[in-house]
Amino acid sequence: MAINGTQSRKLSTLWTYAAGRSGKVRRFGLFLKEEKWQVGFTSILVASAIPVLKLENVIRANITSEIHADLLYSSDTAEHQFSLQTVMGRSALKAEALEDEYLTDKCIDRNQGPETDISPDCLRAAMDAMFLDRYNVTITYKGQSTSLGPIMMQHFNSLRLWLLPYITDTEDSKRTFAPSNTITALLEISPRLNTLNAWIRTPSMKTDFSSIPVNPLVTEILRFNPAVSYARRIRGESYCSHGGSKFFTFDGVELDYNVTSCWHLLAKDCSGHSRFAVLMRSLNNQETELEVNMDNYLILRLRPGLNVSANEKPVELAGHAVVQIADQAGAILAHLQARDTPEHVISVALPAHGFHIVYTGSSTLVMADRSMRGRLCGICGDFDGHAVKEFRKPQDTQAHNGQEYASSYAITDQAECASEQMK
């Protein structure tokens, strides 16, 4: 890259990005080199990648994320090296808010198991719990960078003066001075109040800030951190959910229906653009089984306990590894991943069809891209953005209630469920 000005300069640039198949580890690097100096920046993000559906399990999982970054600047006369480590977690205030009596009563039934934990309110609470609002930051500077200490202190004093109204009179005595060549900071963001609390320590100074007003857009960016790519998907896409006897359609309509041992059509592309369908049936132990049919070319079966098969062949989902299934041309049809703690979760991404399915055996979440609007049918609805006339049966007539609507999508020409339908 050439930069033209009063003096022409040539600048070499290189940047790299890599991500593990599970999405848990991401690496980024940026390198700049000029005739007399060069700069290198590298970072590693270690984050949770697999979703947790139940609010109780989200709280127990205590999701965290870490960022490690190094900046190296060298020239003919000096070399400066800075290292940053950030640990993101959940503040005590957020943990207390998640134990809100309303949420625990509505979303956590510790005796019989939750029946409504897949409702929009409970899912929003789970997503909010995944956002991390506490940042523990440590910056160290090495080599000749120690000579920058006075300059950094000068900038820090300017920050103190600028935020003087928000400096607290009583400093936290538990937080001591930072070690030499180190700056430590603890930040807690409150998106609801659009404020920020901060505790900053240098080798010679301790300062606590309280209730610093922050632009709402900034707080949204801060809490929209890389640790929650799954929650980011849910926020940006519509979803259909099932748990117990509850269904919530893509357009947000709630209905009660007990799935039988017959296969039921959950969602299908009825536009003719593709042959894709998700089916569900009940098992004897009040759990469900899913079938995902893609063009009759790939048929996935999801069963409780991380039991997965593709075209009747078992699929091993070990650790956090991602299993990819492709067609004969090499196009990726499905990404499968599983976790066994704190709940048995199977995550299935279907990029070619615009769907993402999360399945626990007792709960199911089906997410659809916006490109699928108005193209779907099944118990999950038509996804047209309107809740009116949601209960349209396969015969294109209107059902009187959710029970009649859901039962109309049962596939009754199966020997294993014919007797049940006759009762």
User: Would you write out the chain's pLDDT as a tens digit for each of its 423 residues?
Assistant: 555 555 666 778 888 888 665 556 778 898 988 888 888 889 887 766 555 666 676 666 667 778 888 988 888 777 888 898 988 888 887 777 777 766 777 776 655 444 456 677 777 777 777 778 888 999 998 766 666 667 777 888 888 888 889 998 766 667 788 888 889 999 988 877 788 899 999 888 888 999 999 887 766 655 545 444 444 445 555 789 898 888 999 988 989 999 999 999 999 999 888 889 999 999 977 789 999 999 888 999 999 988 999 999 999 887 667 888 988 888 889 989 887 766 788 889 898 888 989 898 888 989 888 888 899 999 999 998 888 888 999 988 999 999 999 999 998 765 556 445 444
Residues 283 and 212 in one domain: no
Domain boundary among 180, 196, 228: 228
Domain boundary among 196, 228, 260: 228
Going from the C-alpha of 221 to that of each of 29, 181, 214, 372, the distances in angstroms are: 22, 30, 11, 28
Residues 269 and 367 in one domain: yes
At CB < 8 A and 24+ separation, what contacts does 165-170 make? 166/209, 166/210, 166/211, 166/212, 167/207, 167/208, 167/209, 167/210, 168/208, 168/209, 168/210, 170/208
Residues 91 and 55 in one domain: yes
- Provide the sign of the torsion angle of the four alpha carbons 131, 29, 83, 162, taken in this order: negative
d(CA 215, CA 337): 37
Residues 197 and 257 in one domain: no
Packing angle, helices 120-130 and 229-236, rounded to 10: 140
Query: Phi-psi category of 115—alpha, beta or left, where left has phi over 0 and alpha has psi -120 to 50?
Result: alpha
- Provide the sign of the torsion angle of the four alpha carbons 307, 309, 313, 315, taken in this order: negative
Residues 156 and 101 in one domain: yes
pLDDT digits (tens, 9 = 90+) for 267-279: 999 988 888 999 9
CATH number, residue 104: 2.20.90
Residues 316 and 394 in one domain: yes
- Following CA atoms 251, 257, 261, 267 in sequence, which dihedral angle do they give, to the nearest 10 degrees? -10
Query: Phi-psi category of 266—alpha, beta or left, where left has phi over 0 and alpha has psi -120 to 50?
Result: alpha
Residues 260 and 334 in one domain: yes
Q: Tokens 């590894």 belong to which residue?
A: 321
Domain residues for 73? Answer: 10-228
Residues 71 and 124 in one domain: yes
Residues 197 and 250 in one domain: no
Residues 286 and 406 in one domain: yes
pLDDT digits (tens, 9 = 90+) for 61-78: 667 778 888 988 888 777
Residues 62 and 87 in one domain: yes
Residues 200 and 250 in one domain: no
Is residue 190 within 8 Å of 196, Cβ to Cβ?
yes
pLDDT digits (tens, 9 = 90+) for 190-200: 877 788 899 99
Domain boundary among 181, 196, 228: 228
1 is a domain residue: no
The residues near 82 (Cβ < 8 Å, ≥ 6 apart) are: 70, 71, 72, 139, 140, 141, 142, 145
pTM, to two decimals: 0.66
Cα–Cα–Cα angle for 108, 340, 362, nearest 5°?
45
- Other CB atoms within a 10 A radius of the CB of residue 122 amount to 22
Number of domains in the chain: 2
115 is a domain residue: yes
Cα first-last separation, the chain: 76
d(CA 182, CA 161): 21
